Structure 1
Amino acid sequence: MEQIRELSSDLDAGVEQVELTGQHLGNIARLAIEVESQVSEIAQGARSNQDQLASLFDAVEHMRSDLAVSDEQTRQLAKAAVQMEGQAETISQRLAQVGLDDYHQRIYDLAREGARLIAEKFEADIVQGRVSLDDLFDRNYKPVPNTSPTRFTTRFDRYTDQVLPALQEPLLSRHEGLVFAIACTQQGYVPTHNNAFSQPLTGDATVDNARNRSKRKFDDRTGIRCGSHQQPVLLQTYTRDTGELMHDLSVPIVVNGRHWGGLRLGYKPQSR
């Protein structure tokens, strides 16, 4: 746990930076202090991992939500908030190595299982000639005309449409909080989303944004990191573009020794 204690110490500087911006942003400073406190308690083992993670990410999310004022001061605070968010995620990775609480641990176990099955399927189909390694690693994303948000095709998405549903869909019923389970590339591209989010396009951008999320590039900070990181696990908390607060746990997918992308499991915060 020494690395966690070091991270706790690092947060001191972040908290001081927030506090120096002025009393009129005291609420954000208070939230930063709460983050520091939660990290310290994790390091000391004072409370359960479940409560620690929930409170930690709640505080970070509230801080990000409160950064609505636009000035130089706020930009500095936003930078500090992102830094502390990264530190919180690093702590979650350390905790994953020693054991998360049951709610998060079951997600982590499902993610590892799913990523392994997807990699094995890809590798087997390469051997059998069903898909080539070059096609599977095609990163030339071609926009689909007249789609909003824009959808993209590649040399492998027709293949994944055939094989990924059988691997992704069964994961959803194995955890009460799961909303989606999707493979993505390093650029945040999701070739084949879950069935619930692969409804026929209507031409109505609002409807399609919620009901058809397949073949899109989710290249925001959260989406990019899900497919590009090569850590054993990355746990993020964010507000989805449809307004829902989500946890997002991702693990790498490695095909024939090459990093293909990641498996993202999005799930709701635990009810209390």
Structure 2
Amino acid sequence: IARSTGTISDHVDKVQRVLTSYDVASRSNEDKLHGAHRKMEELELTASEMFDRIVQAGLSPEDSAMVAQAQSMMQELAAHTEAAIASGAITMAALFDTEYVPVPDTNPQLYRTRLSDWAHAEWRPFLDRAKAGDPRVLAAACTDLNGFLPTHLTERSRTPTGDLAHDTKYCRNGRLMFEAIDRKAKASKAPYMMAVYRQEGDGASYVVVRNVYVPLVLGGRRWGDFELAYSFD
């Protein structure tokens, strides 16, 4: 038992080293390359792959507990949505609408679909509850297979003001966010996928977070993912 505990501790330390190394490397490259996006994506994918392997192997109990938490939340949200489909409150066509209509005069650009209003009313409370229920949780979101967020946390769903820093940080409902790590998650067939990435703050500052993607299946079809972003720092 003592040896097992030591092994787990070693792997937990390795997780922290992976995250710290990624943070240092990303900041260094940002400074040297002035936002060389491709290099940042390569760093992110490498760090995420290492992190995912460690968690999938069951060698980081704290992260595995967050996976279980995300899966439980996803199941509650999916059950609520399935009931809405059955009652006719939302249609499959609206749920899977991919005609992203640009919202005028927004920067970053926001979009709307036929799902937006329903998701804002029905999914947002689940996301808020996920954030409020655990101080380690930084954000929760539902992202479709193209990276569209029909809604977000209440605190991140404010009315755009035209101020770029404010709108980047607080107006995230309706964003299309589809980086390399997101594309990998959407293509994954695994029960979940782990990632580490720099979460965009106000567009000028970032924080390295851990993220779990859990596939969200509705009406027998993969809609996208339930995502839980968290930190132990």
Alignment of 1:1-272 (within 5 A): 45=7, 47-68=9-30, 69=32, 81=43, 84-95=46-57, 98=58, 100-102=60-62, 104-242=63-201, 243-268=206-231, 270-271=232-233
Q: Which has the higher contact order (CA 8 A, sep 6+)?
A: 2
Q: CA deviation at 1:166?
A: 2.4
The answer for unaligned runs of 5 or more in structure 2 is 1-5
The answer for unaligned runs of 5 or more in structure 1 is 1-43
Q: CA deviation at 1:81?
A: 4.2
Q: CA deviation at 1:221?
A: 2.3
Distance of aligned partners of 1:88 and 1:146 in 2 relative to their CA distance in 1, 3 Å threshold:
same
Q: CA deviation at 1:99?
A: 5.7
What amino acid maps onto 1:220 in structure 2?
E
Distance of aligned partners of 1:215 and 1:227 in 2 relative to their CA distance in 1, 3 Å threshold:
farther
Could you tell me how far apart the structure 2 residues matched to 1:62 and 1:229 are? 28
TM-score of the aligned structures, taking structure 1 as reference length: 0.72
Please tell me whether the aligned partners of residues 106 and 175 of structure 1 are also in contact (alpha carbons under 8 angstroms): no
Please tell me whether the aligned partners of residues 48 and 196 of structure 2 are also in contact (alpha carbons under 8 angstroms): no
TM-score of the aligned structures, taking structure 2 as reference length: 0.83
Please tell me whether the aligned partners of residues 217 and 223 of structure 2 are also in contact (alpha carbons under 8 angstroms): yes
What amino acid maps onto 1:53 in structure 2?
V
CA RMSD of aligned residues (A): 2.8
What amino acid maps onto 2:152 in structure 1?
H
Deviations 1:95-116 (A, max 9, x none): 3xx36323x2332122101111
What amino acid maps onto 2:191 in structure 1?
P
Could you tell me how far apart the structure 1 residues matched to 2:136 and 2:167 are? 23
Please tell me whether the aligned partners of residues 212 and 228 of structure 2 are also in contact (alpha carbons under 8 angstroms): yes
SS at match of 1:248: strand
Please tell me whether the aligned partners of residues 138 and 156 of structure 1 are also in contact (alpha carbons under 8 angstroms): yes
Could you tell me how far apart the structure 2 residues matched to 1:89 and 1:138 are? 33
* Partner in structure 2 of residue 10 of structure 1: none
Deviations 1:124-161 (A, max 9, x none): 11110011112111111111111111110111111111
What amino acid maps onto 1:54 in structure 2?
Q
Please tell me whether the aligned partners of residues 52 and 195 of structure 2 are also in contact (alpha carbons under 8 angstroms): no
Could you tell me how far apart the structure 1 residues matched to 2:153 and 2:42 are? 35
Deviations 1:151-204 (A, max 9, x none): 101111111111112222111123221111111111111111001111222121
